[in-house]
Structure 1
Amino acid sequence: MAEYREEVEKYLSEVFAKPVRLVRILPMGAEPGEKELKGFGYGKPYAVDYIVEGEMRSSVLSSMKVQKGFGHDTFADRASAILWQNMAFNTLPNHVRSLDAGFFTKYGGLKSAGEADEFFILMDRVGGLEYYRDLDRIRDTHFFHPLDVDRALALSDYLAYIHSQKHDEPVLYHRRIRELVGSGECIMGLVDSYPKDFKFYSESDFERMEQKCVEWRWKLHDKVHRLCVVHGDFHPWNIMFRNGVDFTVLDRSRGEYGEPADDVSCMSMNYLFYSLQKYGELKGEYKDLFERFIENYLIKSGDFDMVKYMPPFYVFRALVVASPLWYPGLKPEIRVKLFNFIDNVLDADEFDYKNADQYLKK
């Protein structure tokens, strides 16, 4: 154990170029009084408490889980993602800061380059509660507060702000749209993760859906002027709220630039998904949040054309929440409506957010 602590202290001292004294390392979410960690496991986040120049500091050290699929199949895939996050987290407003990227050696050390076995990232630790807890509370307690509307509007304002930063690089826009359809993390990768005996959507259904997504790729292909700064995975588990509308975003993904419809569809899909769980349709508080979030974005950004480009991004996000891998306990009737949604939005010329419930019907 002493040698292990020395390795961590040595690494942190190199990061800060100052002597560091390690206080403790615990798995994130550990209960009070839980014993200190004796070794790292890949794919898990850890809280690291330490003292530097007399100041007590706390960071999060996290590596990527070794898994097959979703574009994280190889060591190189995971290394690329970690190295990109170390840079990109620090260029997005309100995102948790990255302090360093490094890797574990085969012998348990924490080093830089050369002997890499798996990479990790060291980030600032931020306070707050994940936004999904607000959506859980609305679903489970029926308590809906004006702050819920304020937070949805604040998130919409944030997207309008970061998306206002455009980028002129057509090849990059083409890549992001291509990856939406064909990447291991996106539509085709998600399709491959569904079980062979999935009874709600057949292989021929998936094939037909993929063909329509390819058609959408070409509909978006020349919209290169839309390329802008994006988050890339803007969902309620990646947002930490504190008091009021003060928040920090986490885990930016898949590139600094992309199509703004990606972020808008990602968050709004969750309002629809929670409404399905509570009501079996889009109504009530979630319908209010869904429509206000999108409408506020359109007004603040001036991008009223976005509704023409949202359908394939909604397919991506619907495949996530309909997945038996991510949501094994989902009611069958909800899965059916999510695949109705997928089929219907793919056939729409543009997304009618004021009447989104129509897409849930057969």
Structure 2
Amino acid sequence: MPDLSPKNVASYLGSVLGEPVTVHALTPLGGRAADVKGYGYGTPVRVDYESRGERRVAVLHTISPGPFGHEHMADRAAELLWEHRAFNRLPRHVRSLDSGGFMEDGRLIPLGKLDELCLLTEYAEGREYATDLQRICRDGCATPSDFARADALCDYLAGIHQIAKDDPQLYLRRARELVGGNECIFGLTDSYPSNAIDGLEQIEHLAVDWRWRLKRYTHRLRQVHGDFHPWNILFASDTEFTLLDRSRGEFGDPADDVTSLTLNYVFFSLQRSGRLEGAFENLFRRFWDRYLDRTGDREILEVALPFCAFRGLVMASPVWYPALAGSVRSALLRMIVAILKVEAFDPASVNQYCGV
């Protein structure tokens, strides 16, 4: 957090209240209770100010970067935006006057009147990589361009995965979110209809075991895309591509990206012929072999399994793919259970995992 100045706080309060404000004192709050507690999310600051000739007091709260889901600025922003609304909906709770933000130059801006947030990005030309896979699924053959594109995607991942980050707690968070996150394994199993829950409890129990196994792989934290599937990849021409919708954090395990893409070869092959074979098997095996050769990261085979389970649950989901054939859905669910029970992922054993 930038250093607070009475001038910047006065300007901020004036914007919130809609009237001129003079700040008389900024005083950090704390004392014995804070010392006993030993850990806090940020030191609140008492603000003594005057408006329209009346002396008033407010408290400016911040959240410090740290563990417990506060590693990223977006984490802290989400908490403070929520608190602004929630504080004022509970009787006898201290009221929130605003949620605000610090600019790089120390100025504060009010955000409390936000109804929703938005993101403005560039426009990217191109066609979704999924259209290539749909064509292969329809025609049953892959062109030299298809293999070149798969190679380009593989080499891209091998490149970004070289950027490491030494933050064991962040890796543990990513593993925790993989299993229990709203968009990941537990969130997906909860989204399945009540008449389609056979085997999901077993999957959840196996996933929890994997969360504990992943704890010894904190050294694997690398730069990732986080949602590297064919609908987030746009090819403009040949092997030139642009990515969309990076998700769930800048750093994670490389297995997340690799399984996100390669399992789509399995997904489309199951829809075409009920098993991994032909052009899709060639793309799948080629991608894995090339990635292992480029990175030397054979350890990825030890950790890929719960990431496969996550992606498999997306593909088997009646919510995401309501028109998917029951036989394909069943094969994917069999695959999930099977891979969560083995010690390491074997790309040559996918059909065995699927029970086909």
TM-score normalised by L of structure 2: 0.69
Candidates 116, 136, 139, aligned match of 2:137: 139
SS of match in other structure, 1:122: coil
Partner residue of 1:6? none
Q: Residue type matched to 1:229 in 2?
A: Q
Partner residue of 2:158? 160
Candidates 292, 314, 317, aligned match of 1:320: 314
Q: For 1:320 and 1:227, how far apart are their aligned partners in 2?
A: 23
Please tell me whether residue 240 in structure 1 is matched to residue 197 in structure 2: no
Partner residue of 1:342? 336
Partner residue of 1:69? none
What aligned pairs does 1:176-215 form with structure 2 within 5 A after superposition? 176-198=174-196, 201-202=197-198, 205-215=199-209
Q: Residue type matched to 2:256 in 1?
A: D
What aligned pairs does 1:254-269 form with structure 2 within 5 A after superposition? 254-269=248-263
What aligned pairs does 1:262-301 form with structure 2 within 5 A after superposition? 262-301=256-295
SS of match in other structure, 2:225: coil
Q: For 1:80 and 1:317, how far apart are their aligned partners in 2?
A: 26
Candidates 116, 120, 129, aligned match of 1:118: 116
Partner residue of 2:171? 173
Q: Residue type matched to 1:245 in 2?
A: T
Q: For 1:112 and 1:235, how far apart are their aligned partners in 2?
A: 37
Mark the CA change 1:287 to 1:143 in structure 2 (over 3 Å): closer, same or farther.
closer
Partner residue of 1:96? none
Q: For 1:282 and 1:355, how far apart are their aligned partners in 2?
A: 10
What aligned pairs does 1:218-237 form with structure 2 within 5 A after superposition? 218-237=212-231
SS of match in other structure, 1:242: strand
Q: Displacement of 1:327 after TM fit?
A: 0.7
Q: For 1:225 and 1:151, how far apart are their aligned partners in 2?
A: 30
Partner residue of 1:360? 354
Partner residue of 1:87? none
Deviations 1:41-62 (A, max 9, x none): xxxxxxxxxxxxxxxxxxxxxx
SS of match in other structure, 1:247: strand
**Where do 5+ consecutive residues of structure 1 fail to align?**
1-75, 84-110
SS of match in other structure, 2:342: coil
SS of match in other structure, 2:327: helix
**Where do 5+ consecutive residues of structure 2 fail to align?**
1-73, 82-108
Q: Between 258-267 and 133-142, report the one with greater CA deviation.
A: 133-142
Q: Residue type matched to 1:244 in 2?
A: D
TM-score normalised by L of structure 1: 0.68
Contact 2:140/2:278 (CA < 8 Å) preserved in 1? no
Q: Displacement of 1:244 after TM fit?
A: 0.8
Q: Residue type matched to 1:249 in 2?
A: L
What aligned pairs does 1:43-58 form with structure 2 within 5 A after superposition? none
Q: For 2:245 and 2:78, how far apart are their aligned partners in 1?
A: 14
SS of match in other structure, 1:132: helix
SS of match in other structure, 2:318: coil
Q: Tell me the matched-pair count.
A: 255
Q: Displaced runs of 4+ in structure 1, greater than 4 A? A: none
Q: Displacement of 1:141 after TM fit?
A: 2.8
Partner residue of 1:304? 298
Rg larger for = 2
Q: For 2:319 and 2:147, how far apart are their aligned partners in 1?
A: 31
Partner residue of 1:56? none
Q: Displacement of 1:197 after TM fit?
A: 1.1
SS of match in other structure, 2:242: strand
